[in-house]
A = this chain, B = another copy of it.
Amino acid sequence: MTDALTIWTYDWVPQGPRGHVRDIRLRWACEEAGLPYRIASIRFEDRTTPDHLARQPFAQVPALQDGEIRLFESGACLLHLAEKSESLMPRAAKGRAEVLEWVIAGLNSIEMVTVPWWFIGLSGPPENPLEGWLASRLGRLDAVLAGRPYLAADRFTVADLLMADILRVRKLRAVLDPYPALTAYADRILARSAFLKAQQDQLDHFAAADAARAKS
Protein backbone atom coordinates (compact mmCIF):
# COMPACT_ATOMS: atom_id res chain seq x y z
CA MET A 1 0.00 0.00 0.00
CA THR A 2 1.33 3.41 -0.95
CA ASP A 3 1.13 6.20 1.56
CA ALA A 4 -0.96 9.10 0.37
CA LEU A 5 0.89 12.21 -0.63
CA THR A 6 0.98 15.02 1.92
CA ILE A 7 0.65 18.64 0.80
CA TRP A 8 1.81 21.16 3.38
CA THR A 9 0.16 24.54 3.59
CA TYR A 10 -0.62 27.12 6.27
CA ASP A 11 -3.45 26.52 8.73
CA TRP A 12 -4.72 30.06 8.09
CA VAL A 13 -3.93 33.07 5.95
CA PRO A 14 -5.50 36.54 5.70
CA GLN A 15 -8.43 36.96 3.27
CA GLY A 16 -6.34 38.45 0.44
CA PRO A 17 -4.37 35.38 -0.66
CA ARG A 18 -7.14 32.84 -0.05
CA GLY A 19 -7.74 30.84 -3.19
CA HIS A 20 -4.26 31.84 -4.37
CA VAL A 21 -1.90 30.16 -1.90
CA ARG A 22 0.33 27.93 -3.97
CA ASP A 23 -0.71 24.66 -2.40
CA ILE A 24 -3.57 25.06 -4.89
CA ARG A 25 -1.19 24.05 -7.68
CA LEU A 26 -0.47 20.74 -5.97
CA ARG A 27 -4.10 20.12 -5.02
CA TRP A 28 -5.08 20.79 -8.64
CA ALA A 29 -2.44 18.43 -10.02
CA CYS A 30 -3.50 15.64 -7.65
CA GLU A 31 -7.14 16.18 -8.60
CA GLU A 32 -6.30 16.01 -12.32
CA ALA A 33 -4.32 12.81 -11.83
CA GLY A 34 -6.57 11.14 -9.27
CA LEU A 35 -3.64 10.91 -6.86
CA PRO A 36 -4.72 10.48 -3.21
CA TYR A 37 -3.42 13.23 -0.96
CA ARG A 38 -3.93 14.74 2.44
CA ILE A 39 -3.43 18.30 3.59
CA ALA A 40 -1.12 19.05 6.53
CA SER A 41 -0.98 22.49 8.09
CA ILE A 42 1.65 24.54 9.77
CA ARG A 43 0.55 27.51 11.82
CA PHE A 44 0.89 30.69 9.80
CA GLU A 45 2.62 32.26 12.81
CA ASP A 46 5.18 29.41 12.86
CA ARG A 47 6.42 29.92 9.31
CA THR A 48 9.85 31.17 10.36
CA THR A 49 10.51 28.47 12.97
CA PRO A 50 13.50 26.16 12.40
CA ASP A 51 11.09 23.26 11.85
CA HIS A 52 9.40 24.96 8.95
CA LEU A 53 12.57 26.47 7.53
CA ALA A 54 13.96 22.91 7.35
CA ARG A 55 10.93 22.11 5.20
CA GLN A 56 10.83 25.37 3.21
CA PRO A 57 13.96 27.52 3.58
CA PHE A 58 12.24 30.68 2.29
CA ALA A 59 9.47 30.48 4.93
CA GLN A 60 6.76 29.78 2.39
CA VAL A 61 4.35 27.05 1.33
CA PRO A 62 3.72 24.58 -0.20
CA ALA A 63 5.88 21.58 0.49
CA LEU A 64 5.19 18.02 -0.57
CA GLN A 65 5.91 14.77 1.23
CA ASP A 66 5.92 11.59 -0.86
CA GLY A 67 7.15 8.75 1.34
CA GLU A 68 10.81 9.44 2.02
CA ILE A 69 10.89 12.29 -0.49
CA ARG A 70 10.33 15.88 0.61
CA LEU A 71 10.16 18.75 -1.81
CA PHE A 72 9.58 22.48 -1.64
CA GLU A 73 8.89 24.94 -4.51
CA SER A 74 5.54 24.47 -6.21
CA GLY A 75 7.24 24.12 -9.60
CA ALA A 76 9.43 21.29 -8.33
CA CYS A 77 6.44 19.60 -6.68
CA LEU A 78 4.50 19.81 -9.95
CA LEU A 79 7.31 18.21 -11.94
CA HIS A 80 7.59 15.49 -9.28
CA LEU A 81 3.84 14.81 -9.41
CA ALA A 82 3.93 14.83 -13.21
CA GLU A 83 6.17 11.75 -13.13
CA LYS A 84 3.33 9.88 -11.43
CA SER A 85 0.64 10.33 -14.03
CA GLU A 86 0.42 10.57 -17.78
CA SER A 87 -2.56 12.87 -17.27
CA LEU A 88 -0.06 15.54 -16.18
CA MET A 89 2.81 14.81 -18.58
CA PRO A 90 3.23 12.46 -21.55
CA ARG A 91 5.73 9.61 -21.19
CA ALA A 92 7.43 10.08 -24.58
CA ALA A 93 10.68 12.05 -24.55
CA LYS A 94 9.48 14.79 -26.91
CA GLY A 95 6.32 15.51 -24.94
CA ARG A 96 8.22 15.44 -21.65
CA ALA A 97 10.71 17.97 -22.97
CA GLU A 98 7.92 20.28 -24.09
CA VAL A 99 6.28 20.10 -20.67
CA LEU A 100 9.59 20.75 -18.96
CA GLU A 101 10.44 23.81 -21.07
CA TRP A 102 6.99 25.32 -20.59
CA VAL A 103 6.93 24.70 -16.85
CA ILE A 104 10.27 26.49 -16.61
CA ALA A 105 9.05 29.23 -18.97
CA GLY A 106 6.08 29.75 -16.65
CA LEU A 107 8.36 30.08 -13.65
CA ASN A 108 11.31 31.95 -15.15
CA SER A 109 10.02 33.89 -18.19
CA ILE A 110 6.46 34.79 -17.15
CA GLU A 111 6.25 34.65 -13.35
CA MET A 112 9.69 36.24 -13.02
CA VAL A 113 8.03 39.35 -14.44
CA THR A 114 4.42 39.05 -13.26
CA VAL A 115 5.14 38.50 -9.56
CA PRO A 116 7.60 41.41 -9.14
CA TRP A 117 5.24 43.57 -11.24
CA TRP A 118 2.40 42.67 -8.88
CA PHE A 119 4.59 43.15 -5.81
CA ILE A 120 5.69 46.65 -6.94
CA GLY A 121 2.04 47.48 -7.65
CA LEU A 122 1.22 46.89 -3.97
CA SER A 123 3.32 49.84 -2.88
CA GLY A 124 2.03 51.76 -5.87
CA PRO A 125 4.75 53.97 -7.39
CA PRO A 126 3.19 56.23 -10.06
CA GLU A 127 4.86 54.19 -12.82
CA ASN A 128 5.65 50.54 -12.48
CA PRO A 129 9.17 50.09 -13.89
CA LEU A 130 8.28 46.54 -15.03
CA GLU A 131 5.29 47.61 -17.18
CA GLY A 132 7.10 47.40 -20.53
CA TRP A 133 8.78 44.11 -19.76
CA LEU A 134 5.44 42.64 -18.67
CA ALA A 135 3.76 43.72 -21.90
CA SER A 136 6.58 42.24 -23.95
CA ARG A 137 6.43 38.85 -22.26
CA LEU A 138 2.62 38.67 -22.33
CA GLY A 139 2.65 39.63 -26.00
CA ARG A 140 5.06 36.81 -26.82
CA LEU A 141 2.98 34.31 -24.87
CA ASP A 142 -0.19 35.54 -26.57
CA ALA A 143 1.43 34.91 -29.96
CA VAL A 144 2.22 31.32 -28.94
CA LEU A 145 -1.33 30.69 -27.73
CA ALA A 146 -2.85 32.23 -30.84
CA GLY A 147 -1.40 29.24 -32.68
CA ARG A 148 -2.39 26.37 -30.41
CA PRO A 149 -4.76 25.47 -27.58
CA TYR A 150 -2.17 24.09 -25.14
CA LEU A 151 1.44 24.97 -24.40
CA ALA A 152 2.99 21.52 -24.70
CA ALA A 153 2.44 18.18 -26.40
CA ASP A 154 -0.88 19.18 -28.07
CA ARG A 155 -2.89 18.44 -24.90
CA PHE A 156 -3.50 19.64 -21.37
CA THR A 157 -0.46 19.12 -19.17
CA VAL A 158 0.94 20.38 -15.91
CA ALA A 159 2.52 23.22 -17.91
CA ASP A 160 -0.97 24.61 -18.60
CA LEU A 161 -1.97 24.13 -14.97
CA LEU A 162 0.99 26.22 -13.85
CA MET A 163 0.63 28.91 -16.52
CA ALA A 164 -3.09 29.35 -15.89
CA ASP A 165 -2.43 29.69 -12.16
CA ILE A 166 0.21 32.33 -12.88
CA LEU A 167 -2.17 34.28 -15.15
CA ARG A 168 -5.19 34.24 -12.86
CA VAL A 169 -3.69 36.55 -10.22
CA ARG A 170 -6.42 39.20 -9.92
CA LYS A 171 -4.42 42.35 -10.70
CA LEU A 172 -2.77 40.62 -13.62
CA ARG A 173 -6.03 39.20 -15.00
CA ALA A 174 -7.34 42.78 -14.97
CA VAL A 175 -4.76 43.89 -17.55
CA LEU A 176 -4.95 40.89 -19.90
CA ASP A 177 -7.58 42.26 -22.30
CA PRO A 178 -5.00 43.25 -24.95
CA TYR A 179 -4.04 39.56 -25.18
CA PRO A 180 -7.11 37.73 -26.47
CA ALA A 181 -5.51 34.34 -27.07
CA LEU A 182 -3.95 34.35 -23.64
CA THR A 183 -7.21 35.40 -21.98
CA ALA A 184 -9.23 32.72 -23.78
CA TYR A 185 -6.60 30.14 -22.88
CA ALA A 186 -6.58 31.02 -19.19
CA ASP A 187 -10.38 31.02 -19.02
CA ARG A 188 -10.52 27.62 -20.69
CA ILE A 189 -7.90 26.02 -18.45
CA LEU A 190 -9.45 27.54 -15.32
CA ALA A 191 -12.85 26.07 -16.18
CA ARG A 192 -11.53 22.56 -15.50
CA SER A 193 -13.37 20.82 -12.68
CA ALA A 194 -10.12 19.77 -10.99
CA PHE A 195 -9.17 23.43 -10.62
CA LEU A 196 -12.59 24.43 -9.32
CA LYS A 197 -12.46 21.66 -6.70
CA ALA A 198 -8.94 22.56 -5.63
CA GLN A 199 -9.90 26.21 -5.30
CA GLN A 200 -13.02 25.47 -3.26
CA ASP A 201 -11.10 23.05 -1.05
CA GLN A 202 -8.51 25.69 -0.30
CA LEU A 203 -11.15 28.29 0.51
CA ASP A 204 -12.89 25.78 2.80
CA HIS A 205 -9.58 24.91 4.49
CA PHE A 206 -8.92 28.51 5.48
CA ALA A 207 -12.56 29.14 6.41
CA ALA A 208 -12.41 26.16 8.78
CA ALA A 209 -9.37 27.77 10.42
CA ASP A 210 -11.38 30.96 11.00
CA ALA A 211 -14.01 28.89 12.79
CA ALA A 212 -11.42 27.04 14.86
CA ARG A 213 -9.68 30.28 15.83
CA ALA A 214 -12.97 31.92 16.76
CA LYS A 215 -13.69 29.05 19.18
CA SER A 216 -10.28 29.04 20.86
Residues of A within 8 A of B (CB): 53, 57-60, 68-73, 75-76, 79-80, 93-94, 97, 100-101, 103-105, 107-109, 111-113, 115-116, 119-120, 123, 125, 129-130, 133, 137, 140-141, 143-144
Contact = CB atoms under 8 A, between A and B. Distances in A.
Nearest to A112: B112
A97 B71 contact: yes
Contact of A75 (B60, B69, B104, B137): B104
B130 A120 contact: yes
Contacts of A119: 129-130, 133
A144 B72 CA distance: 14
Given A71-B101, A140-B58, A112 B109 contact: no
A141 B57 contact: yes
B101 A104 contact: no
Contacts of A73: 101, 104-105, 108-109
Contact of A101 (B53, B76, B101, B129): B76
A68 B98 CA distance: 12
A105 B141 CA distance: 23
Contact of A58 (B76, B130, B137): B137
